[in-house]
Each structure stands twice: as structure tokens, then as C-alpha cells.
Amino acid sequence: MSTHIRSEPAQKRARTLEPMCGIVGYVGSRPSQDILLAGLARLEYRGYDSAGIAVIDDAGSLGMRKKAGKLRALRDSLADAALADGHTGIGHTRWATHGGPTDANAHPHLADDDRLALIHNGIIENFAALRAELEAEGTTFRSETDTEVAAALLGHEFRRTGNLAEAFRAVVNRLEGAFTLLAVHQDEPGLVVAARRNSPLVIGLGEGENFLGSDVAAFVEHTRHALAVGEDEIVTITPSAVTVTDFAGNVVEPVPFEVSWDPASAEKGGWPSFMAKEVAEQPEAVANTIRGRVHDGAVVIPELEGSDDLFRGIDRVIITACGTASYAAMVGKYALEQWARVPVDVELAHEFRYRDPVIGANTLVVSISQSGETMDTLMAVKYANERGARTLSICNTQGATIPRESDAVVYTHAGPEVAVASTKAFVAQITALLLLGLHAGRVRGSVSAADAAEAVAELEALPAKIATVLSEEQAHVTQLGGWMADTRSVLFLGRHVGYPIALEGALKLKEISYIHAEGFAAGELKHGPIALIEPGQPVFVLVPSPRHSALLHAKVVSNIQEIRARGARVIVVAEEGDAAVLPFADEVIRIPLAGALFEPLLAVVPLQIFAMALATAKGLDVDQPRNLAKSVTVE
């Protein structure tokens, strides 16, 4: 593909593990504590076991505070007794790996007589050997973390070199594994040094100030000018300069990009939760993903310009993703096969590369990731590159690693998604896949102009139809969720593109309400799952439109009768006017009429609202469910 985000050579390193933490750094003229805490609030989706900041104050001393628990605990502690303020600092929000979520294990970690502070996202695989070496030399440790070893090493090197950037270079060359490291030293105020390997880091460029973050959400409120940091690079930021080198010290040119996210969209803005806000933003997420990609009734994706020969030449597509993104992939399979007439397989990224898939130069591997940092998906992309496939990513986060590792990227424009449960990114991913199917179908000549124009009209009507579901069904479905707060299990059934939506409905419920939920292909019911049905068992059934396939519709209605006969409490999601479901449904949720491939974008909305309402009725935190982090950067 001719137009693409710079693709770096595939990293052929040993497999690494990386925990999910959020990292922010600041140098400038403003009080750094406020900027660090605001950045951490936006990165808290990456981990929320503990949080901490370190600031070099105006007297040139390093102050540090860290607390187990959510960011609120750190905020409360700072409200009780603030650190002396300064204009250089680093902040961290943690998802624990080495050592439990305690104050001691929280970051930053200090070294060099507490004059140096370091934070880390990643796992240092050789930390045990390094720790033993340091202990033999008399270093004592205050935590169980691998990070403190890096801090201690940096302290040693700083004492030797008296230069933080030089000390960093010596340290990173001794570390194995995955890391983003940020450090400050009180002897070098006005400087933050960072390094990255297999773990995300982006730079935000301000006027007289500069920022570092795990992703652009950390600083988008202050600047939209950003630089992507490549693998194995070291960054130094001062208020007026940014320098990037490789681990050997050679200066490299980082790739600039503009962040299109509206900073206000990363704020809760009066909504009870980010999830509620993001569900409501779905019409906009779909509209923004379509914008600029439709011309005269045809889909033309500008990012794919120059790749027509590639699309004509491919004989197979593999879509790879995890979790919710993999359900979007399943919908994408239907669209690509129908319009582009190319065989499509959907592969969970963590399964894909542990077998020996048939991949060649005519295979297009499409990865889907909201964050662009999911380690399983990233490794699948690297694997596909190594096997000679062409790679295209569908991603929501600019400057993220997966697009950088792919030959091309089609961005979804859902805006920042903060709630752990993916909602607006999901509908934007499906939208991007529908666009991709129509783009490829046009290029391959497998979709007629009339069919394409009809599909485009369907696409463009989607935002208003999603808005209709939100306005017409929100109260009804919220009430259902409230009534069912004590339910212990919910099943979801669907066929065709309704099947992935059943899976997504079940995943939403599991992850935020912690109750058992399963999605099934409705046709599979009689092959086992029907044994689960007992009197009172709630079952959501996604009913396909009879206008598209009377046969499929009739089959689903008969599935409803089968479960109803065994006492199931049936909640039907069906298009307006479908009266065939009425005799057998306890509840009917209506969606507007839409083409078969477009129905998933409507049918998923009530399932998201239901999960949110039930979790809220149980008094749970819908944005930050237990045990989860948004960006799963652990294999």
C-alpha cells in the first residue's frame, strides 16, 4: 500500500510481557501537579491499583507521593498535604504485576538518596539477576517491583556520569523485556528523560512546555501537536526542546502527527459515567468514521489510495483482534465476503500465531484495536509481517503501536474511549469494516454501483437511527436492567450478524456487572445450550429482519418458541413493525429498519444500555470494572 504510517522493521525479539500502566511527564512553566493529576485521570483506564507523582520543586528538591487504590486516594492525600509545587514532574497509574497494589509497590520509585524518581510501564524480565547483583553491592530495596531495580541502576549510573540522559542510555541497554521508563533527577530540574521498548510512549509539543504520555489522552487537553516515539528510543524533554535518540545515542527524527480528538470528549461532562457518555456518543462516532470516505455515492478511503492493485490481488483476508474488537471483526467478515467476494477468516489474535496459519503475499491481515496497543493483536501483526502478508490496521488511537507496525491504517474516529467496556469504538470499528468492504468491493468490481449507492445510503442513515434507539429505548431498557439487578445469568441469542452481537451483549454484561452471561448462535441452541433454560431464565434474542430473509427470521421465531416453552423469560430485539415476535416475547425492544449488515450497529445499543443499567443497579463502577484495564498489554 502506498500511503501509510511509517512502518518500522518488525521487531524480532523474544516475546515480552507488558503490564498496563499509565504514564505522564511534564516540563514547562505551569504547576506540574495539576497537569500530572489531570493526565493520570485520563490514563486511569490503563490501570487503577495505585498511583503516584514525583515533582522537582522550585527549591530544586524532589517531592514524591504515592498511594495504593484509585487515583482518588492520591488526590485526597495531596489535598491533605500538598507537595511543594514545581514545573517538572512525572506521574503513574498502575496495574499491578510484580508485587501487590501497595503504597510501597506503587510508582514512582526513588534512588540516588531519593534525589531521583522513576516510573515504569512494562516488565523487566532480567530484574531478578540485576537485583541480586545490586544487593550484592549493598543496595537495599523498599518494594517487590522490577521497577525499583531500574531506578537503582539509574541512580548508580547517574552518580557515575552526572548526566541523566547518558545514565539512561547505560541502563536501557542492560534491561530485557518491555518498558517505558520516565525519570527526573533533582540535580537536573527542567528535564524529563524517557525510553521505550515494546511499550507505548508519545510526546506532546507545547509552547514553552512539553509532555510525555502513554497515549495522547495524557496531554490532548494542552496540545494536539504530537510526536510518535519508535521502538528502542530515548527521549529528553525540556520546556523548549525535545531530543530523540536511539539506544546507541544517534539522533533520530520522530514522526509528527496532529491529534484530532476533541479534548472535551475525554471529559465526563456531566454524565454519570464515561460509559454512559460514550454510549450516547455513538451516532457521532459512526458519522465521524464515515466522514470524508464517501464520494458520489461510492466509498473511497483516502488512506488506501494507491493500493488498488493490492486489493485486486488478495485471495484471502484474515481479520485479527481480541474481545469486543473480535466481534466487530465477525461482522466485518460478512461485509467483506458479500461485497469484496474474498474469503475472510476471523482469528483471535492470541490464537492466530500459535499455530501455522496459511499466509502468503496475497493475504491481507486486518487488525482491529481501539487502543492500538493490545499486545496480543500487536504480536499477531508482527507475525503477519514476518510471514510476508500485507497488514492493515483499523485503530482508534493515533500514534499507537499497531498502526505503526502495519502497512496501512484506517482510523476510526470515535474519539477517546475511556470506559473499560468498549461501546462507541465497537460501532466505529464495524463502520470502518463496512467502509472497507465497500471500498474493496468497488476496486475489485464485485459490488455494483447501485448496490454500493444503496449501502452508502444505509451507512449515512445510521447515526440518526442509532440516535432513535437511544431516545426511544433508553428508559425502557434501563428499567429492565434495574428490575434484573438480582439476576444471576443472562443468555443472548443471535443468527448471522446477530450472532456476534449476542456475543458482545454477553461480554458487556460479564465485564461490568460480574454476572454469568453467554452468547450463542441461535441455531446452536438445540446442540446443547438449551439445557441451560429453566423457568425464569432471561434470554435476549436478536431477531433478524423478515424483509431480508423470511427463512432466517422464521428460524429465529421458532427458536424463541422453543425457549419460551421451557420457561425462558424472552426479551426480543426486533425491527419496528415485526409483529411475529409479539406472542412469544415478554419484552420487545424496537430498532429502526435497516439493511441486514447494518442492523448490528442498532441492535447492540440496547444491550450496552442493559449492561450499564444492571451494573449501576448493583452499585458497581461501570467505568472501572474489577480486574480489568482498558488496554490489555499483557499477553
Please give the single-letter amino acid code of residue 64: M
> Cα separation of 123 and 375, whole Å?
13
Whether residue 108 is preceded by a cis peptide bond, meaning omega within 30 degrees of 0, is yes
Site for ligand M6R (CB under 6 A): how many residues? 16
Q: Find the DSSP H helices in 538-598.
A: 550-565
Q: Find the shortest distance in angstroms from Cβ 377 to ligand M6R.
A: 5
Q: Using CB under 6 A, which of 236, 324, 338, 487 touches ligand M6R?
A: 324
Piece in contact with ligand M6R (CB under 6 A), picked from 174-182, 419-427, 458-466, 482-490: 419-427
The site string for ligand M6R over 469-508 (x = CB under 6 A, - otherwise) reads: --------------------------------------x-
| Catalytic residue (one of 333, 382, 508, 630) | 630
The torsion of the CA quartet 192, 197, 202, 203, rounded to 10 degrees, works out to: 30
CB of 325 closer than 8 Å to CB of 366: no
Question: Nearest-CA neighbor of 320 among 362, 360, 361, 380?
Answer: 380
CB of 184 closer than 8 Å to CB of 56: yes
CB of 394 closer than 8 Å to CB of 436: yes
Q: Find the shortest distance in angstroms from Cβ 325 to ligand M6R.
A: 4
Contacts of 207 (CB under 8 A, 6+ apart): none
Q: Using CB under 6 A, which of 74, 322, 435, 622 touches ligand M6R?
A: 322
Q: Find the shortest distance in angstroms from Cβ 423 to ligand M6R.
A: 8
Q: Find the shortest distance in angstroms from Cβ 222 to ligand M6R.
A: 24
Piece in contact with ligand M6R (CB under 6 A), picked from 51-59, 199-207, 317-325, 560-568: 317-325
Piece in contact with ligand M6R (CB under 6 A), picked from 7-15, 20-28, 34-42, 316-324: 316-324
Count of Cβ atoms closer than 10 Å to residue 403 Cβ? 29
Query: What per-residue string of b and e applies to 11-34 under the rule 16 or more CB within 10 Å gives b?
Result: beeeebebbbbbbbbbbbeebbbe
3-state secondary structure of 164: helix
Show contacts with ligand M6R in window 576-595 (CB under 6 A): none
Residue with Cβ nearer ligand M6R (559 or 631): 631
Q: Using CB under 6 A, which of 88, 199, 422, 608 touches ligand M6R?
A: 422
Residue with Cβ nearer ligand M6R (206 or 372): 372
Piece in contact with ligand M6R (CB under 6 A), picked from 260-268, 308-316, 420-428, 516-524: 420-428
Q: Using CB under 6 A, which of 421, 452, 497, 622 touches ligand M6R?
A: 421
| Catalytic residue (one of 21, 277, 465, 508) | 21
> Cα separation of 38 and 24, whole Å?
10
User: Is there binding between residue 631 and ligand M6R (CB under 6 A)?
Assistant: yes
Show contacts with ligand M6R in window 352-411 (CB under 6 A): 369-371, 374, 377
Q: Find the shortest distance in angstroms from Cβ 394 to ligand M6R.
A: 9
Residue with Cβ nearer ligand M6R (193 or 368): 368
User: Is there binding between residue 18 and ligand M6R (CB under 6 A)?
Assistant: no
Question: Nearest-CA neighbor of 364 among 428, 410, 328, 423?
Answer: 410
Q: Find the shortest distance in angstroms from Cβ 373 to ligand M6R.
A: 7
Q: Find the shortest distance in angstroms from Cβ 422 to ligand M6R.
A: 4
Residue appearing with cell numbers 542492560: 174
Clarify whether 630 is annotated catalytic.
yes
Residue with Cβ nearer ligand M6R (145 or 369): 369
To 10 degrees, what angle do helices 498-513 and 323-340 make? 170
Q: Find the shortest distance in angstroms from Cβ 633 to ligand M6R.
A: 9
- Using Cβ positions, the residue closest to ligand M6R within the complex turns out to be 323
Label each residue of 601-621 as H, E or C.
HHHHHHHHHHHHHHHHHCCCC
Contacts of 509 (CB under 8 A, 6+ apart): 490, 515, 517, 607, 610, 611, 614
Residue with Cβ nearer ligand M6R (56 or 201): 201
> Cα separation of 80 and 55, whole Å?
17
> Cα separation of 292 and 289, whole Å?
8
User: Is there binding between residue 420 and ligand M6R (CB under 6 A)?
Assistant: yes
Clarify whether 526 is annotated catalytic.
no
Residue with Cβ nearer ligand M6R (289 or 377): 377
Interface residues toward ligand M6R, by CB under 6 A: 322-325, 369-371, 374, 377, 420-422, 507, 511, 631-632
- Could you give the residue numbers annotated as active site? 21, 630
